[in-house]
Structure 1
Amino acid sequence: MYKKLLLLFFLFLSIYKLNAQNIILASGEGLLYSLNISSGNCSVKPLKFPCNTTPFSIALYKDTVYGNAYDPETSQEVIFKSVLGNNAYCEKINIPVDANNLTVDSAGVLYWVGTYNNLYSYNPHSAVLNNHGYIPFNSAGDLMFYKGQLYLAADYGALVAVDIPHPGNSEVYMNTGHAFYGLVNIPVGCNQNGVFGIDDNSLVEIDMEHKTVGEVYCSVPFTVYDAASITETGIVEGVSVSSIAVHPDCDINGNSGKITINALSASPGTIDIFMNGKPTDNTGIFKNLAAGSYNFHLVSREGCTIDTLVKLQKSTPINLLIKTLPDTCSAAIGSIAINPAADYGTLIYYLNDIAKTSNFYDSLKGGIYKVSVEDSNNCRIDSNIAIKNVVSPSPITSIEITTATCKKGSGEINVHANDASLLQYSLNNAAMQSSGLFSGLDTGVYYLQVATAHCVFDSMVTVSQQQLVKPGITFSAAPPVCVDKNGSLQVDIAGGLPPFSINLDNTSYSSNNIFPNISAGSHAIKIIDSNACLWDTAAIVQAYTLLKPDVHYAVKNPECFSSLPGTAMVLINGAESPYCFSLNQRLYNSGASVNNLLPGSYSIKIFNKAQCAVDSLMVSLIAQNNGVNCDTLFVPGAFTPNNDGLNDILKPIISNFPTNILFKVFNRFGENIFSTTKMGEGWNGMYKNIPQAADSYIWICSYVTTSGIKKFAKGVSVLIR
């Protein structure tokens, strides 16, 4: 029976044409050979490892070959990486490897057993090295994957099934009776692999399914330390579909379905995928599909194929019955109840994109909420629901105020209200009380709160002061000279109840009635008599008298926008010379010319020899177009408000210096979602603090050019997210 199985195996080898480089041997001298067994015997050819080194252990993942070899730079054995057929490519991976048993899994992750029988793995994609732990068997030779299981050639002819997550639980799978240095999983058909062990220089067939060992198939003229093939990952050279994900057509108008196919092959290169007989982009992702049946034909580089039929269902549209209860006075007592209009199976509910365990949401404040429902097919419906905020009528009928005398704590507030026994009262954010009477108050403005079960009503209540004896108050003021603070003020008080304390401009109180070094203008005066009665008044200190000079100016208008900037010259004559002037926050002497001025209006201040500002004027420079139309308007056709600093704002760009600008943006429903009259200001993609959807938006723009011409434009821009 076994000879018949072996004959059948040889028949597969004779039919299936193996690429010679699919099997690689590492000799005891550190040389590489390609092995060809398709002719029924073992023929080898030298194979150059591009890294100018001699690996003793190798692993092959598709067309990428890994080998561990001595590195003279580090004086250690490290991993080298190359690509078959590309003798110019060599990459060194500085991971010390002290074992002759490299192999690789279906994801391209390397495995080996170290000197102390620890199982290691290294992911070349993420550069992550893992020590999985101790294997209770001594390594005699190679590692190999077969049907997803990792096997180790151990001492005493044992073939050990390695438990990768828990290497200590590894067990003997079978006894081979051979000291295998190399293990190799060889493709013998599109969907079939054969396993060989290499004992010194002989290839011996291993029947993994029946746990038997065959005769020596053939021999090579050197000692083999390790072997590798494109199927040592355990994957067949044909095509296998690892997963198919189907997302149904959720759109009522169709063409929203999606199919994702993940396929594997040990062969290098791309798996070609045909859908309904037509070639695709081979990504395995198919979008915008209508409901129906789809035939997929997958082909590996070696010509191996597999066919599969995928059915894409049409999802039933979800209809909802939504009920809301309003909030009251922002007390968070609003609610939303969502009820499906029919039986749609298991549904998942979301509030503002957060999954909820119930279809009822309470304790909501007034506002706009995004409500979403998703069925078992991942089809989702979104709705924006408004919760109103209702404000009840105030229960307050009247507020009785007792004015205060100059004596401290003589004022009173008494609140009268409907259903007073059900209310709570607070003054100036103090603790709530059941009575609406507040006594012992000084004069001033008080913050009154009256609370019902859900609402709080605010009022500002003033307790005024009774005036007893008002003194006569007079002022003597000297104006400042030029500068801001060198005037003086004297306050004289007659009658009343002395002694008096005086406060100037909310500083401290004192008996001093003369105030030097003050500026021109109105100054607040507060006077307190001996009974603490307060009078507020104001005194005016006259401003410095200006002697305006004779000012002449001349301008040269700029050409177009900034092609040829303009100039302005100011000449000042008067009794307080020498004069100077300021323009664009810089000072210039009388008669100076200011250059490089763009079109616009400029404020010029005139200063006398004491640096007093004695005059000012506005000078306008108008762009001269000289027959050329310099006025241009540009609004981007698209913008991306993702805060990356690039094209985040939709705004008009207008050459020259327009006036009376108006820029508005409307959504597809004609709703005005943005408006500005400021140059340089634009829309950031938000409306009512909610990011707007990717869509086309209409804009209009009107402005007046520097020539006084009214302009109007409109267009469409696309918001991209």
Structure 2
Amino acid sequence: VTVCPAQLPYSWNGNSYSGEGTYAITLSTPNGCDSVPILSLTVAPFVTSLTTMSVCESSLPFTWNGQSFSSAGSHTVNLITSAGCDSIATLQLSIEETDSVFTTIAICENALPFVWNGDPYTASGVYTKRFVDNNGCDSISILNLTVNPVDTSVTTITICRSALPYLWNGQTINDAGEYFSELTSNAGCDSVAMLHLLVNELSLTTQQISICNLQLPYTWNGRLLASAGNYSDTLVNAVGCDSIVRLTLTVSPEVTTQLTLSICNNELPYHWNGQNITTAGNYVANFLNQAGCDSIVRLSLTVNPLQNSITVLSVCRSDLPFVWNGLSINAAGNYTANLQTVHGCDSVARLTFMVTEASSSTLNATVCSADLPFLWNGRSLDSTGTYRDTLPNRAGCDSILSLNLVVNPTPGSVNVPPPLSYCQFDDASPLIASADSNTALLWYTSATSGVPSPNVPVPSTAEPGTYMFYVSATNQNCEGPRATITVTVNRKPDLGDDRSLAVCYGETGSLTGLFNTDGLNPVWTVAGAPISPAVVSIPGAYNLVVENSFGCTDSANVAFSINPQVVADAGPDADVETNIPYRLQGSGNGSFSWYPPNIINNPNIASPLVTVQSDATLILTVTDNLGCLDTDTVRLRVLNGPTFYVPSAFTPDGDGLNDVFRPTPVGIQKLDYFRVYNRYGELVFETSEIGKGWNGIYKGIRQNGGNYVWALKGVDRTGRERMMKGNVVLIR
């Protein structure tokens, strides 16, 4: 038998064969005879082939063994051999690309026809031609042909005469006419240009204008002319060329005449050039002169008033008769005179004439002796007496004056105490001063001037400083010199408000630094006994008295107290389950803080929930409102649960180690019973309280060492009932 490699292993008569060979087996026929068939197994070989071919790009797609290929590379086809087995044929195909040659040519129109690859061309365009290369494949040549025309242009230009000479295509042109130029275009082809040049001539205009002076400045062609003269301007005419305009400007002057006139008030109204003038002032009249310009006449008019005067005059009787404006007057009365002013205007003068008689008067004066000498009408008087003098009165007439002068004695100096001194806020006494008998005291707040007061002042001690008080003696309105009383108010030490000091239980306090005593003498006492302020340990009221260099004092009290002891209790150590929340049993008299906080649901309460994955020690800190604190720890041991862990032995010898036999609940919410029996089946201990155990004593008697039987029943955190029993060894 011949098989393909893919048909191995080959099965024959219940046997499998994986390679070529001759195989024999023994079989039994139905009649019980042996039969030995022989298998000659041949494995046909696996056939592979590689074909390499090259084709032109234009021959694609390429067909090989019934399949089409459009790209170069290695291609595989599965075939069947004549033996019926698989055969893999591989084609290594390469593709010869079609060559393309692109040519761009630009020629002038007069170079046509253009011959390319044996063919003539007469117009711009893209032309293609095919060839066969050395590999037998197509080769394409492409021609992009551009035919540039020969340009002929005609240009007409008009310029002004002033623009000559004119430069065009390298030629200098000095007059109008037609001109030619041969050029080469950007494409390199011939170009013929023709210029038709037109030349416009320059124009000239002359103007003469006469104006009045008042018309200045004069506007001409956009310019402001301020005076007569010759002016010129260059403009652009209708064909766009320069046009010169010349102006001769004549300005006729303005004629002004000034008149001055003075009249009397009774000559009003005054008529001038058709105007009725009723008041003094400056007036103007306008005329036209021969040139048609304004001529101005200005009038300055002065109106002199009619002067009516009233004179009131008083003379002494000794001056009669009195002469006034040619009149001789011997008695009092009203008089009138008609006069003329310097301007020739009428003037009426009226006189009210009075005659003053001689007078006499008496003056009484009282002065103090300290004010002597007393000056009176140029005389110096220094004693009591009557004095007379003759003086002109207000009317200039003789007046006899009499002076009755009384001189009172001036009191002497006041006796005052030496400078006084008080502490701030002390009660001050009224000031004391003394003087001569029959005198009164006057008090002042300034050394000179000021308003006196008969009231004795009481110094104020509210603000520290030096204060001056002044006092003088007075008698019969005569006042003596002022004496000075100096009062100094010294600053009192200021300890401020009373203080309180509280410390934590077990600590001592220090009073030092509670008050600022710099520069002061401090004395601390408690219950009247002096103490050292550095360390205090007994609660109570402490008193501080300080004195400064002036002898002024202040005091303050400190209430010293000791806070109650802060006690933190983290609760009993416990056995807990992994990742099962356990409620801690902390307590204390303050605020709570558990550490580490990251495994506790609320680290700031007494009994939060904690979740652990391994044994852990937690720290509880309890802090009161003064910051006093206490700490305690609780150890959590992680056990698998929920279940009870019961020891196998205990030693109730009173050493504090393993003295009590009790089950350790893990994940248990209730204990129904925990019982211990001796070997006689007698119940020696029973409890339903978690954490309680047997101490090896029954009915007050220490039990012997040996084996005991225990049994318990409880409910775990899932509500499932748990029952366990076992043996324990009591070791004495």
* TM-score of Structure 1 vs Structure 2, range by shorter chain: under 0.3
TM-score (norm 1): 0.17
Q: Which has the higher contact order (CA 8 A, sep 6+)?
A: 1
TM-score (norm 2): 0.16
Instruction: Kindly name which structure, 1 or 2, has the bigger radius of gyration based on alpha carbons.
Output: 2
